Amino acid sequence: MDLRGLGVTYNAANLFIDENVKKGLGEKIAIYYRDKRISYKALQEKVNRVGNMLRKLGYKMEDRILLVCHDIPEFVYSFFGAMKIGVVPIPVNTMMQPSDYEYFLNNSRAKGLMIHEDIWANIQQRKDRFLFLEHIIVIKESANNLSEDVFDFHSLLDQADKELENALTNKDDSAFWLFSSGSTGDPKGVIHLHHDMEYALNTYAKQVLEISEEDRCLSASKLFFAYGLGGGMYFPLGAGASTVLVKERPDPETIFQTIEKYKPTIFFGVPTLYGMMIDYALKTGKRFDLSSLRVCVSAGEALPPSLYYKWKDMYQVDILDGIGSTEALHIFISNRIKDIKIGSSGKVVPGFDAKIVDENGAELPINEIGDLVIRGDCIAHGYWNLHDQNKQKFIGEWFHTGDKYYKDEEGYFWYCGRSDDMLKVGGVWVSPIEVENCLLQHQDVFEVAVIGVEKKDRLVVPKAFVVLKQGVDKTKEKEEELKLFVKQQLAPYKYPRIIEFIDELPKTATGKIQRYKLREILKVNEVSY
């Protein structure tokens, strides 16, 4: 259409869904899920039905929908169905507590909630606190009945038409948001635009992974993480390849069996999982056939060299470590197939630039540690409603990652830690402050400080230094009780793996806990776990 003001119309659903059918891949399998095989044609129909169903409920361009769904095909239908009519899907972590969903809904002012029945059951009693919400659409996999105040995803879908044109969105329209955890606890809404996924596909996925129609992807990282969203969904769909979805949380046995059964060619994991898989195979003595894999990817935190070597020795396949972020959408510095410097994050991905700068923004010489800043066209538009943080992190074309790095003389980048106190555990952010605040709610806890400690395998786990109230005994039982307490209050992966009882915390004159001193105590004692 040549109406003025429309700009270049572009809708991401076109490339990732419709183009595949146009190219003649209609009969090809896009998604493997349990015993289901979903062709590109069937996927397109479902996507169209979701778009039509939302239109019928009154959804318009720029309305937002919170998507709380496990890695099942309905996630993909909902994500692209919303986007196709210009509605903005916001996939969020499925492992959060009810109050976290209250935050996501009220912060984003989502008009709709598409939610899996299991998770809805946990949060429905809070419904009155979701201020802007108009429709709740429950994705059912069981035969359970729903209450009258919610919609049934599948029955709405069946009633909706299977033909749908893309909305006249612009390439710079908001396409989807992802939430990224901040150091003070509250997650930030990261706004991504319609052109972002294509950029990540054409750079990292095509030029580093060399993804093609021949590939089949499996991501252990869930679709609601930016890492899993690419590896498990839009990389394979953008390449006309296939993806294997797994609803369950990734444990070693499930992942090994899934690889043997569905024979993926590319596997996306985080270092902790590679470590668990290696341990599991060694402990059980089980042998698994991973010969279908041509490459494995690791991201989320730095991959310890020992894991690279063990994995390569056991399965004769390389793990490519690369750094990505929710703001950058996917990986922007990475090792390459046939060009790996073990222990480094690799070189800049084509399509991106990276600099190491000092606190004034001046570029530092080779081998000097500084702040990593990057630029590239799939970096987020910005954070939702966080004007000050936007000014600090998105400076001109450059995004400040918050990571300390140096670059060596050959152009490889080496990770040196976070600029703030945030911890990466199993590839997922854990805010020490949130864990501390939780422990402080326990009746026996007087004071607490949480820091990250490196275990023998160099992976980081949260450790809590706890000062108990007077008269409370420092027992092993109390340790276990506190761990359980955190697991029940917060997303379970945040609990402190190690608890040490101490008599008092090191503090500044103004009463601020000196975390660096705790880290020093750890070093002096050379504790290894």
Residues engaged in binding ligand 3UK (CB under 6 A): 180, 226-227, 299-302, 321-326, 330-331, 345, 401-403, 415, 418, 424, 429
Q: Which residues, other chains included, contact 434 with Cβ-Cβ below 8 Å and sequence gap of 6+?
A: 185, 490, 494
Report the nearest approach of ligand 3UK to the CB of residue 231 (Å).
8
Strand 64-68 and strand 112-116: pairing? parallel
- Give me the count of residues in the chain: 529
CB-CB neighbours of 521 under 10 Å: 15
Report the nearest approach of ligand 3UK to the CB of residue 307 (Å).
12
Q: Which H or E run contains 418? A: strand 413-418
Would you state the structure tokens that stand for residue 221, as one six-digit string? 């990282």
Backbone angles phi, psi at 101, to 5 degrees: -70, -35
Report the nearest approach of ligand 3UK to the CB of residue 158 (Å).
35
Three-class SS state of 359? coil
Q: Give which of 73, 83, 1 is closest to 37, Cα–Cα.
A: 73
In the bound state with ligand 3UK, the residue whose beta carbon lies nearer, of 43 and 450, is 450
Report the nearest approach of ligand 3UK to the CB of residue 492 (Å).
18
Cβ burial, residue 338 (10 Å; 0-12/13-18/19+): exposed
In the bound state with ligand 3UK, the residue whose beta carbon lies nearer, of 234 and 465, is 234
The amino acid at residue 525 is N
Report the nearest approach of ligand 3UK to the CB of residue 227 (Å).
4
Report the nearest approach of ligand 3UK to the CB of residue 204 (Å).
9
Q: How far apart are CA 22 and CA 252, in angstroms?
A: 38
Q: How far apart are CA 416 and CA 404, in angstroms?
A: 5
Report the nearest approach of ligand 3UK to the CB of residue 270 (Å).
8
What's the longest Cα–Cα distance across the chain?
77
In the bound state with ligand 3UK, the residue whose beta carbon lies nearer, of 227 and 406, is 227
List, edge to edge, every strand of the sheet that includes 382-383: 174-180, 188-193, 382-383
Would you state the structure tokens that stand for residue 286, as one six-digit string? 């089980």
Report the nearest approach of ligand 3UK to the CB of residue 33 (Å).
22
Would you state the structure tokens that stand for residue 375, as one six-digit string? 């630029």
In the bound state with ligand 3UK, the residue whose beta carbon lies nearer, of 119 and 229, is 229
Q: E-assigned strands of 247-290? A: 266-269
Would you state the structure tokens that stand for residue 308, as one six-digit string? 């690279």
Q: Give which of 147, 151, 113, 115 is closest to 131, Cα–Cα.
A: 113
Report the nearest approach of ligand 3UK to the CB of residue 286 (Å).
28
In the bound state with ligand 3UK, the residue whose beta carbon lies nearer, of 97 and 419, is 419
Backbone angles phi, psi at 328, to 5 degrees: -80, -5
Residue of closest CB approach to ligand 3UK? 324
Report the nearest approach of ligand 3UK to the CB of residue 326 (Å).
3
Q: Give which of 373, 383, 330 is closest to 187, Cα–Cα.
A: 383
In the bound state with ligand 3UK, the residue whose beta carbon lies nearer, of 215 and 403, is 403
Cβ burial, residue 277 (10 Å; 0-12/13-18/19+): buried
